């Protein structure tokens, strides 16, 4: 009996080691499969976009075809403005919903409904959100505006932000909350200053994900923020933005405009990159304890 028991342990141990090795290989394959398109797409953008970058791109306004030069400076500023307006709408609302779902709602019917609504909102094509804001804001105002565009983009942000907040706050162990309450803090301070603040790194990831997505959205802006070949003259006026300008140039017949469109795409990715890094450095830096293992 001792013989077969040791054999059994030895054999099952070997099987587990084999499975371990196989999973390592599979995971490595997964990463390779993910890296290849990543490099391909990035490479394509860089190869197409970098040659067209020059100083004028960052400082000049769009020029008509046939005239050399011209840039997307107004589109760059416009995208920053739209992203900012969208964040003002999307981030507080998204975090509030996420907080509600994780701290207060847990199993109630309202929270199931709200969670469901957030998921539904995530799948509405961006163009329909744009049309919705068009009907809600642009038609009554009788004009296209940066506010309408920012609102449309902000609405698109909410599901990602709220879902991320909810899931990450749920991972916070309860004893942290209890410790805060035990110290005599009101519940809201516990939630905001301890739980939320502690998870601000990961939650920022969710926010950055949604900013990355909306920074590149074209369709909702076509009917809300429109576009503007001049510098923007007020939040209630049409405003230029990188994705719309890229789209307009990309579908044109002219090589020079195509090059500028690629440069625009490259700059867009760089812009999101920078927003990501800077925001993390300032708002979300947390110190992770060094781990031994």
Partner 1 sequence: MYCKDIKLNNREVHRGDHVFSLALKLSAIGLAVLLGLVGIFLFRAALPAIHTQGLRFVTSSVWDPVQDVYGAMPVIYGTVVSSFLAIVIATPLSIGVALFLTEIAPRSIGRVVGFLVEMLAAIPSVVYGLWGIFVLAPWLRRVVEPALGKTLGFLPFFQGPPYGVGMLAAGIILAIMITPTISSISRELFNSIPHIQREGAIAIGATRWEMMRLTVLTSSKRGIIGATILGLGRALGETMAVTMVIGNRHEVSASLFAPGATMASIIANEYAEATSDMHLSALLGVGLALFLVNFTISSIARIFISRGFRWGAIRNGAKG
Partner 2 sequence: MDLDTNEVVVVFRVNIGGLMKAIYLLFFTAVIGWQPVAYSAALINGAGATFPYPLYSKWFAEYQKVDPEVRINYQSIGSGGGIRQFLEKTVDFGASDAPMTDEQLSKASVPVVHIPTVLGAVVLTYNVPGVEQGLKLSGEVVAYIFLGKVTKWNDSRITALNHGIKLPETDILVVHRSDGSGTTGIFTDYLSKVSAEWKTKTGSGTAVNWPVGLGGKGNEGVAGLIKQTPGSIGYVELIYAKNNSLNYAFLKNKAGNVIEPNTKTVTAAAAGVVKSMPADFRVSITNADGKEAYPISGFTYLLVYKNMPKGKGEGIVKFLRWAMKGGQSYAEPLYYAPLPTALLTKVNAKIDEISVK
Determine the Cα–Cα distance for residues 267 and 255; give it in Å rounded to an integer: 18
Using CB under 8 A as the binding rule, the residues of this chain from 54 to 83 that contact partner 1 are none
Q: Which is nearer to partner 1, 78 or 243 (CB)?
A: 243
Q: Using the rule CB under 8 A, is 252 a contact of partner 1? A: no
Exposure string for 99-135, b = 16+ CB within 10 A, e = fewer:
bbbbbebeeeeebeebbeebeeeeeeebbebbbbbbe
Q: Using the rule CB under 8 A, is 206 a contact of partner 1? A: yes
| x-marked contacts with partner 1 along 263-292 as a string, rule CB under 8 A | --x--xx--xx--x--------------x-
Considering only 72, 76, 86, 212, the residue that binds partner 1 (CB under 8 A) is 212
Determine the Cα–Cα distance for residues 265 and 25; give it in Å rounded to an integer: 35
Q: Which is nearer to partner 2, 210 or 228 (CB)?
A: 228
Considering only 46, 172, 181, 209, the residue that binds partner 2 (CB under 8 A) is 172
Q: Quick one: tokens of 244?
A: 């719309």
Using CB under 8 A as the binding rule, the residues of this chain from 6 to 45 that contact partner 2 are none
Determine the Cα–Cα distance for residues 73 and 68; give it in Å rounded to an integer: 15
Considering only 82, 148, 153, 155, the residue that binds partner 1 (CB under 8 A) is 155
**Binding site partner of 25, from partner 2, partner 1, none, Cβ cut-off 5-8 A by kind:** none
Q: Which is nearer to partner 2, 97 or 222 (CB)?
A: 222
Q: Using the rule CB under 8 A, is 164 a contact of partner 1? A: yes
Q: Using the rule CB under 8 A, is 68 a contact of partner 2? A: no
Q: Quick one: tokens of 122?
A: 């995530």
**Binding site partner of 253, from partner 1, partner 2, none, Cβ cut-off 5-8 A by kind:** partner 2
Q: Which is nearer to partner 2, 100 or 223 (CB)?
A: 223
Q: Which is nearer to partner 1, 56 or 167 (CB)?
A: 167
Min. distance of Cβ 203 from partner 2 in angstroms? 13
Q: Which residues bind partner 2 (CB under 8 A)?
A: 62-67, 77, 80-81, 84-85, 138-139, 142-144, 172, 176, 198-199, 222-223, 226-235, 237-238, 244, 248, 250-255, 278-279, 281-283, 285-287, 289
């Amino acid at each position: 009996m001792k013989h077969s028991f040791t054999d059994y342990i030895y054999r099952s141990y070997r099987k587990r080691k084999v499975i371990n090795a196989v999973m390592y290989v599979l995971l490595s394959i997964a990463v390779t499969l993910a890296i290849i398109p990543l490099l391909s797409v990035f490479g394509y953008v860089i190869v197409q976009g970098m040659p067209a970058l020059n100083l004028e791109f960052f400082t000049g306004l769009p020029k008509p075809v046939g005239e050399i030069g011209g840039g997307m400076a107004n589109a760059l500023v416009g995208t920053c403005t739209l992203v900012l307006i969208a964040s003002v709408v999307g981030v507080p609302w998204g975090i509030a919903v996420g907080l509600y779902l994780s701290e207060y709602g847990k199993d109630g019917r309202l929270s199931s409904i709200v969670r469901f609504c957030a998921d539904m909102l995530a799948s509405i094509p961006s163009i329909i959100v744009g049309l919705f804001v068009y009907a809600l804001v642009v038609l009554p105002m009788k004009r296209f505006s940066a506010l309408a565009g920012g609102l449309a983009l902000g609405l698109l942000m909410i599901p990602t932000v709220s879902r991320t907040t909810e899931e990450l706050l749920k991972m916070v162990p309860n004893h942290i909350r209890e410790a805060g309450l035990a110290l005599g803090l009101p519940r809201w301070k516990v939630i905001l200053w301890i739980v939320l603040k502690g998870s601000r790194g990961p939650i920022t990831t969710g926010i950055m994900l949604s900013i990355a997505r909306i920074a590149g959205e074209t369709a909702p802006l076509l009917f809300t923020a429109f576009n503007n070949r001049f510098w923007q003259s007020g939040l209630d006026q049409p405003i230029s933005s990188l994705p719309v300008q890229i789209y307009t140039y990309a579908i044109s017949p002219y090589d020079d405009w195509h090059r500028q469109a690629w440069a625009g795409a490259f700059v867009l990715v760089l812009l999101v990159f920078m927003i990501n890094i800077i925001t993390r450095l300032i708002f979300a830096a947390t110190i992770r304890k060094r781990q031994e293992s």
